Amino acid sequence: MEPPAPRHETDAPPPPPNPQPQAHQPSPSTSAYTPPSWGGRLSPEEPAITLEILRNGVEVDRLQLFSSSSCEAAQHYYTFGRMPGAVTFVLDNPTISRVHAVVQFRKKDDTLHVQDLGSTHGTFVNKQRT
């Protein structure tokens, strides 16, 4: 067996592949988040909501929320973070906290509310910190 060839300073590791959007499926969670009394569920006739996750202006993920294809279509909020079992959607990125943020639906006026759950790096919507 031949020993590996010596590395030279000019030998650089290959660049990482371009990030491709991945389809995430919601998972059951036991989040510490307590939904507010004003929360509500979308009716089945409502269109699904797509959440695009960007990193440096590049889409790295796309999530379907409140859709009939979601395993938890009846719920009125989704939590996000790195900790499986504690959040609905697990996002594997070092800038994401274990329990990072929540997207909550409000039936009264059909609006979505995004709330940071004490994350280290913050939560941003359209480049504005929430």
| Domains in the chain with CATH codes | 22-122 (2.60.200.20)
Distances (CA, A) of 70 to 2, 4, 35, 54: 53, 49, 19, 21
For tokens 């939904």, the residue is 35
- E-strand stretches of the chain: 22-23, 49-55, 58-65, 77-81, 89-90, 101-106, 111-116, 124-125, 128-129
Contact 70, 51 (CB under 8 A): no
For tokens 């990072």, the residue is 100
Per-residue pLDDT of the chain (130 residues; tens, 9 = 90+): 555 545 444 454 554 544 444 445 555 555 678 888 888 877 777 777 888 877 788 888 888 887 655 544 457 899 999 999 999 989 888 889 999 999 998 888 888 899 999 999 999 888 889 8
- The confidence score (pLDDT) of residue 82 equals 93
What is the largest distance, in Å, between two alpha-carbon atoms of the chain?
A: 71
Note the pLDDT tens digit of each residue in 94-104. 889 999 999 99
pTM higher than 0.75, yes or no?
no
